[in-house]
Chains A and B, each alone.
Chain A
């Protein structure tokens, strides 16, 4: 059976696991119909021109893991940012793990979507925010909404600083031959509130995993949110991450995406600016090898005047890997005095690697500052020569130059431990020991 048909027919089984009388279930039943109509994206769609899902949709995925798997913390500790205090919301094969999690309801809520969906206490939040900004023309969003049941629920009430960063970790254990999971996260940052979030998907075996994740983020007036996505999964794991951010006036949101691992990774990241003097920042470092395929598809929708957006994506593509950067900036007629900057710089380390970089600016206002730049190049030979004359062999020299190329993206990372972790992942990815920690 095709995956699409399998998903549609398994919806009935899914309904037995959830409360069908909940309001959210009406969204689910509509969404499964939408998915039936729209289906998975195809290459003839403009936004999917360079990314084909065919190779990952042909697996025979289990949709509901048969048993709950436990993991020993020591086996997965390295995937946590464990050197600082954090709240953790951890899922194993899509199921909440109370043993590995450290949730809270003290001043802020960092807990589970499943409990938020059913608790009267959160009904107003769910009614106000759940599934409000996910574009409805996407089959993948519809699919996620149809099976939405579990994920992280983070609610920072107004005038509150979250006292520690919150980690969202999704482990897959390989207890199924192949597994598809659909996490659904909802994050609401109230007026004047601050929070930092770290998200990671990690499979623990070589069994194929497909994650179709949807995250909605709402930043109210003057809210500040920093979101860090660490994508360093196994070569058998694929991720479609769709993150939608709606910002109100004077709010600041940044999303950093560090893409080093995974077979196929597609990041849909969209910002909607609903207020003045908003800052939206998205940055990324991508380093690939083998036959990896990593696709960043971004959108900033400038709707109101006096707002800013900053995009800076750096990519280093090796072997036969492929990268895509498709960054769209849409400035509405009313959005005067917009400052929108976009830059996408790429290095192809191998002759067989490919990058498709496509900046798209659609500007309807006349008093704006918008810039975009895209470069694709190789490592500078003169720089290589310089390093080699200092006794540094070609491999290490190449790694140093790649690190130097991507490094500035880390300047805006506000948690030093994350910076260290990313540096370590970069050193591992580049497979060198430089005798010092990057």
Chain B
């Protein structure tokens, strides 16, 4: 589904990603772990198409299509979704209305008519139940005054509504208490299918107890230095990143 080849990217002239290679197939969950400043969030933003991050080299191929030149909204229309660590507040625009705009703009780009109101309501009801979201919550202004947990739950609600092919969850576990973490991961697990893929970007192993990855990658200084199964995440949790740093130094 997604192939990343030799991806280099710079932020304000400083190279952050230094040659990433990654292949993600439909139906898989990949976790990308790494210490602070290793480039995890940059990788997420570059895949999603953040303009301020300059892709200097390499390819991002989504289902056989090179998407490096596409705007973030065009990538979204092709099925890329990114859940934010710090979602933006939009006072005066309700969650429901925001979702209507997002869904219908995507449909418009795909040459489809607006989703009929009845179908939209039904979908909103189903997906909000999935994330244990109260009806009243949906008429509140988007993210305005939401708690950390509500913001994250709302991010996954949006993911559920938009039904992306590739979801990148950037530090979704940060600031979540155990109940919110359970609801959020439960939501993600129920949305998994053989046709979509999930990339979980996280600092800690905690989230991976709930969303179990097929592959774990360790990002260090802009490069993927180790890949393995879920046991790699456990090892990192127990031993930290120092051993990898040492091994990489020796190899280097």
Q: Check A401 for interface membership: any CB of B closer than 8 A.
A: yes
Contact assessment for B52 and A381 in the assembled complex, using a CB-CB cutoff below 8 Å: yes
In Å, the complex CA distance between A340 and B109 comes to 49
Shortest distance in angstroms between A182's beta carbon and chain B's nearest beta carbon?
37
Contact assessment for B88 and A410 in the assembled complex, using a CB-CB cutoff below 8 Å: no
Which listed residue (B71, B86, B92, B93) contacts A388, Cβ 8 A?
B71
Q: Check B76 for interface membership: any CB of A closer than 8 A.
A: yes
Q: Check B65 for interface membership: any CB of A closer than 8 A.
A: no
In Å, the complex CA distance between A390 and B76 comes to 6
In Å, the complex CA distance between A382 and B72 comes to 12
Contact assessment for B100 and A436 in the assembled complex, using a CB-CB cutoff below 8 Å: yes
Contact assessment for A390 and B91 in the assembled complex, using a CB-CB cutoff below 8 Å: no
Which listed residue (A389, A401, A408) contacts B49, Cβ 8 A?
A389
Of the listed stretches A143-151, A166-174, A392-400, chain B binds A392-400
In Å, the complex CA distance between A438 and B73 comes to 21
Q: Check A385 for interface membership: any CB of B closer than 8 A.
A: yes
Given A385-B50, A394-B71, A435-B104, 11 other A-B contacts at CB below 8 A? Answer: A383-B88, A385-B72, A386-B88, A389-B84, A390-B102, A392-B101, A400-B93, A404-B89, A410-B92, A434-B97, A435-B101
- A391, A393, A397: residue with the most chain B Cβ atoms closer than 10 Å: A391
- B51, B81, B88: residue with the most chain A Cβ atoms closer than 10 Å: B88
Residues on B lying within 8 angstroms of A by beta carbon are 45, 48-52, 71-73, 75-77, 80-82, 84, 86-93, 97-98, 100-106, 109, 114, 158, 162
Which residue of A has the minimal Cβ distance to B90?
A: A404
Taking CB atoms, residues of chain A closer than 8 Å to B103 are 391
Taking CB atoms, residues of chain A closer than 8 Å to B105 are 391-393, 396, 435
Contact assessment for A403 and B73 in the assembled complex, using a CB-CB cutoff below 8 Å: no
Given A386-B87, A400-B90, A403-B92, decide whether A391 and B73 contact each other with a Cβ distance below 8 A: yes
Taking CB atoms, residues of chain A closer than 8 Å to B45 are 385
In Å, the complex CA distance between A374 and B190 comes to 47
Taking CB atoms, residues of chain B closer than 8 Å to A394 are 71, 73
Q: Check A407 for interface membership: any CB of B closer than 8 A.
A: yes
- Render A369-385 as a binary contact track against B, CB cut-off 8 A, 1 for contact: 00000000000111101
Contact assessment for B88 and A380 in the assembled complex, using a CB-CB cutoff below 8 Å: yes
Which residue of A has the minimal Cβ distance to B143?
A: A386
Q: Check A387 for interface membership: any CB of B closer than 8 A.
A: yes
Residues on A lying within 8 angstroms of B by beta carbon are 380-383, 385-394, 396-397, 400-401, 403-404, 407-408, 410, 434-436, 438
Contact assessment for B90 and A388 in the assembled complex, using a CB-CB cutoff below 8 Å: no
Which residue of A has the minimal Cβ distance to B120?
A: A435
26 residue pairs bridging A and B, Cβ less than 8 Å apart: A385-B52, A386-B84, A386-B88, A388-B49, A388-B71, A388-B73, A389-B48, A390-B98, A390-B162, A391-B77, A391-B102, A391-B103, A391-B105, A392-B73, A392-B105, A393-B71, A393-B105, A394-B73, A397-B73, A400-B93, A401-B90, A407-B91, A408-B92, A410-B92, A435-B104, A436-B97
Taking CB atoms, residues of chain A closer than 8 Å to B51 are 381, 385
Shortest distance in angstroms between B49's beta carbon and chain A's nearest beta carbon?
7
Contact assessment for A435 and B71 in the assembled complex, using a CB-CB cutoff below 8 Å: no
Which residue of B has the minimal Cβ distance to A388?
A: B72
Taking CB atoms, residues of chain A closer than 8 Å to B48 are 385, 389
Contact assessment for B76 and A388 in the assembled complex, using a CB-CB cutoff below 8 Å: yes
Shortest distance in angstroms between B104's beta carbon and chain A's nearest beta carbon?
5
In Å, the complex CA distance between A392 and B102 comes to 6
In Å, the complex CA distance between A380 and B90 comes to 12
In Å, the complex CA distance between A407 and B141 comes to 11
Which listed residue (A386, A389, A396, A408) contacts B101, Cβ 8 A?
A396
In Å, the complex CA distance between A386 and B143 comes to 12
Contact assessment for B91 and A408 in the assembled complex, using a CB-CB cutoff below 8 Å: yes
In Å, the complex CA distance between A254 and B52 comes to 43
